[in-house]
Each structure stands twice: as C-alpha cells, then as structure tokens.
Amino acid sequence: MDRNVSLIWGEQELKSFIDRTTMYRLMLYYLLALFAFALFFSAIGVLPYAPAELLWSIAVLLCASLLVNKFLAWAFNAVTNHESVFITPFILVFVVSPIAVADIAGAVTLVVIASVAMASKYVLALGKKHIFNPVAVALAFSALVLGLPASWWVAGSLALLPFLIVGGLVVVYKLRKFDLIFSFFAASLVTIALISQNFVVGTQATFLYSAVFFFAFVMLTEPLTMPNTRVLRITYGALVGALFIWSPHIGSFYFSPEIALITGNLFAYLASPKGRYMLTFVERRMLANGIYEYIFNSDRKLIFKSGQYLEWTLGNIPLDNRGNRRFFTVVSAPEDSIVAIGTRFPDKPSAFKRTLAELPVGAVVSASSLGGDFVMPRDAKKKLAFLAGGIGVTPFASMARHCIKTGEQRDAVLLYSSKSESEIAYRDVFNSASRSGWRTYYQVGVIDAELIQREIPDYLERLFYVSGPPGMVSAMKRMLINLGVSRFSVKTDFFPGLA
C-alpha cells in the first residue's frame, strides 16, 4: 500500500514539474539530458565520437549562435526567447557530425551552419514571425550550398534510443500534441507500406535506425512553425510524415528530412493565422484579489475566435527557470478594438510576472502563435456547459463578451469555481451575459458531481468546456465521463506552459 502511495505521489510530482515548466525550458532540459547520455556513451566507446569532439562541437555552435543572435536581435530591434538561443545549437549538435578540436575547417563550417539557423529567424520572417524551422533551414543550406548533408548521427545508436523516446514523450505530453505525433507516425507507416517491398524490414529500419524519433519529438514539435488548430495540425503531421519516408525527387533534387519539414512549415504558414502582433500597453485594472486585466492596442486588427490564445514575449526580464514567453487566452471579444488578457499573480511570482506587474504605459509587447480549438460551436442552438477553475475562466469571459457585443443567444451554463469570493473575476461580464442566455453559478471550492447534477439537470444534452489548472481539468473530465457524459462531448482547454 505504501509503495502504491509513493508511486502515485511520484507521478503527481512529475506531472506538476512538467506543467509548471515552460515548454521551451523543458525542451532544453531534454536536449541537455540527451547530450549528457551521449557524452557517457561516447566515453565508454559506444558512440563513434570522442567526448572532446562532442564538447568542442557544442561549444562552437553555442558561441556562434549566441553572438549571431545578439547582433541580429539588436539589428532588427527584436525581442527574443532566451531558451531558443540555446535549443537551436543543442539540436544541431545531434544532427551535424562532431568535429575534432584541431579541425579548423570543420569549426568554420559549424559557425556558418549555426549562423544560418539563427539568421533564418530574422531574415526568413513574414509579419515579424519566422515561418521555417531554423535548424531545417540550416541543414538544407549545408546540404545544398556547402555540399555537406546532415549526418543525423543521433539515430545511429540504439543505446540512445530509449532516452530519446522517453524524453520525447514527456515533451509531447507537455505540449499535448499527441494528435500531431500520431498523424506523423501513422502517415510514415502508411507510406512505408505503399513504397517498401518488405513492410517489416522497412518499419524496423525506420524506427530503429533512422532519425524519425528525434525528428518528430524535437523538430516537428517546434511551436512557432506548426499550425495551432487540431485539423491543420493533423494534416501537417501527415504531410511531413509521408514526405519524410517517401523522399520524392524532382530531377536530381531529393526531399531530405529537413526539406520535408520546410515543406510542412510552408503549408502551416499558408493555412494558419499570419505574423506577429506588436501590442502597446494601455491600462491595467484589478478584477479580483490578485487577478488583473491588461489592455493593449494592437498595431493591426487581431482576427481570432473567442477562446483562442496568443504567445506573449516580454523583453529585458531577469533570467529564471520560466523564460520570457507565456501563453495567455485573449480575454477581449473579437469585436473589440483592443486586445486584453487576464492573469493571476501568485504570492511568489516568476520574473515574467514581476516584469508584467511593473509594465509601464506605452511599453510594447510582442505576441504571436494565435491558436486553439477551445471555441464555441458554430451551431448557436447547441446547449453548452462551462466549468471554470480560477483564472481558467478567461476564455469564457471572451465568449461572454462576444455574445454581449453581437447579441448572439446561447443556452450556456457556467459553473465558476474559485478559492474565495474575493477571487471571482469578470462577475460584471457574466451578469451582463445573462441577457444573451447565459446562467452563471459561483462556487467557492471544488465543483463536484452533485453540483453539476443540481445546476445542470440536462447535462447529458450539453457540450462541456473545461478550463483551469491541469489537475482540475483532468479531474473534471473523469468526473463527467463517470456521470455518463460522452468523452466526445467534453472539450478541455490547454495551451503549452502555465503562466
């Protein structure tokens, strides 16, 4: 019994660590751990490279990436993500052949490759947002211009494979992008079946000795260059998976893994919302105890659906383990001329939150990666039920504001859970939404099955939306399924990284 309790506690601690660590920081941890294992296996002779070669290669890549990024950020007056500057060289070190310390020409080549990767973020950008995976661009440049194709040496060792897969699954769990990974691997298997003379041999070769796992977990999941809605994301994964295996050619030009990814990036750009928004801070207003709304003017009209989110980047913040990017739901209505977010400030805020708290009027904040499927159905006659925990109420505030602005009628019931009466936000918005068919019940404490059955007697006829802390969302989904609600009638809100 004690062992079971210990295992459950350990699982909860692991999930808590994953949920409170930003996706960029978690990816960096994953790459650092993988590099440490690579050093170990090289030291015992499992890998064909010496530890000194690995260390020298990463040192060259890191120095070049940091210097080039610093210069370009200054030249383009851009706000950059701290972790991505380190993530890029740590990806490159696994796919470009390591070099000896005395190999000057090799060092120059690594400098060029790292420089191209960092430059692509600034040069190959439209609407202030890069559209191609930086590592894929650098590898394509190396192959097509320098005549040095990527070695993808990380795929050559079975010893690294378990660590690569386990860490990769942790990253995918964090991102909640299993649909992307599933579509990629499914398309890969279908393509193997179509083009391979021996499906079993082709599958073994692909999943044991190719870069398929590193490619999928590390490069395919790059947030800024993938679609942010489910259907487009599945299509994107399938397209890249098919091209990864098929490797079609045009004359003597063959599709390599990086070209397959670049093709997918182009599809994602054409099919998704474009660009980066520069938002000027206008006002901060208190909504409840510890909860504030920030109001911005945008440099251009933000076209979105209520319930969607943006990734926000702050510049010049102190370094901590959370980074300078966060995802926030857009809490204003799509019809508003301003852009607003709502956020809670904990007792011990991160450097990001401390910087946000001191943001001066007129400060410019960068936002991009508009996405999310947590939106109301097109059929306005569909009965809805919203379960909100704490600051997870923000998407529902946007939906309510949309209904108020447009006069759209919705049969919607909101159960809003908070720790205390003083922490209830947007009460005025939800009260006004009653004229649009909304009914709101405020609950101090946990939402339980009895409350749902009492306040939403026709709950089996409704489409449920659940938003809040990850633990609350998971618990509510299980409870609804136990009450007989179809899992297809439960939509949960998730965006990568808690604020």
User: Best-predicted range by mean pLDDT among 207-211, 317-321, 423-427?
Assistant: 423-427
pLDDT tens across 40-68, in order?
Answer: 999 999 999 999 999 999 999 999 999 99
Is the distance from CB of 343 to CB of 294 less than 8 angstroms? yes
pLDDT tens across 322-366, in order?
Answer: 667 788 999 999 999 999 999 999 888 888 888 899 999 999 998
Q: How confident is the model at residue 257 (pLDDT cuts 50, 70, 90)?
A: very high
pLDDT tens across 290-304, in order?
Answer: 999 999 999 999 999
Q: What is the mean pLDDT of residues 266-287?
A: 88
pLDDT averaged over every residue in the chain: 90
Residue 143 has pLDDT above 70, yes or no: yes
> How far is 489 from 253, CA to CA, in rounded Å?
47
Q: How many CB atoms lie within 10 A of CB 94?
A: 26
Q: How confident is the model at residue 3 (pLDDT cuts 50, 70, 90)?
A: low
Residue 69 has pLDDT above 90, yes or no: yes
Structural domains of the chain, with CATH: 14-271 (no CATH), 277-371 (2.40.30.10), 384-492 (3.40.50.80)
Half-sphere exposure of 282 (CA within 13 A, CB side): 13
User: Best-predicted range by mean pLDDT among 1-10, 304-313, 346-355?
Assistant: 304-313
Residue 128 has pLDDT above 80, yes or no: no
Q: Which carries the bigger pLDDT value, residue 143 or residue 76?
A: 143
Residues 6+ apart with CB under 8 A from 23: 171, 174, 175, 223, 496, 497
pLDDT of res. 32: 97
Residues 6+ apart with CB under 8 A from 188: 206, 212, 241, 242, 244, 245
pLDDT of res. 465: 97
The angle that helices 161-175 and 178-195 make with each other, rounded to 10 degrees, is: 130
pLDDT of res. 1: 46
CA angle 298, 299, 302 (to 5 degrees): 55
Q: Which carries the bigger pLDDT value, residue 142 or residue 248?
A: 142
Q: What is the mean pLDDT of residues 92-119?
A: 96
Q: What is the mean pLDDT of residues 448-471?
A: 95
Residue 276 has pLDDT above 70, yes or no: yes
Q: What is the mean pLDDT of residues 467-486?
A: 93
Q: What is the mean pLDDT of residues 171-200?
A: 93
For 447, phi then psi, to 5°, come to: -80, 125
Q: How confident is the model at residue 142 (pLDDT cuts 50, 70, 90)?
A: very high
Q: How many CB atoms lie within 10 A of CB 453?
A: 11
Q: What is the mean pLDDT of residues 396-418?
A: 97
pLDDT of res. 11: 62
CA angle 485, 14, 162 (to 5 degrees): 100
- Looking at this protein, which amino acid is placed at residue 95? V
Q: How confident is the model at residue 16 (pLDDT cuts 50, 70, 90)?
A: confident
Q: How confident is the model at residue 125 (pLDDT cuts 50, 70, 90)?
A: confident
pLDDT tens across 77-105, in order?
Answer: 877 777 889 999 999 999 999 999 999 99
pLDDT of res. 6: 47
pLDDT of res. 495: 55
pLDDT of res. 7: 45
Placement of tokens 């941890």 in the chain: 29
Residue 208 has pLDDT above 50, yes or no: yes
Q: What is the mean pLDDT of residues 124-143?
A: 88
Residue 8 has pLDDT above 50, yes or no: no
Q: What is the mean pLDDT of residues 423-443?
A: 96
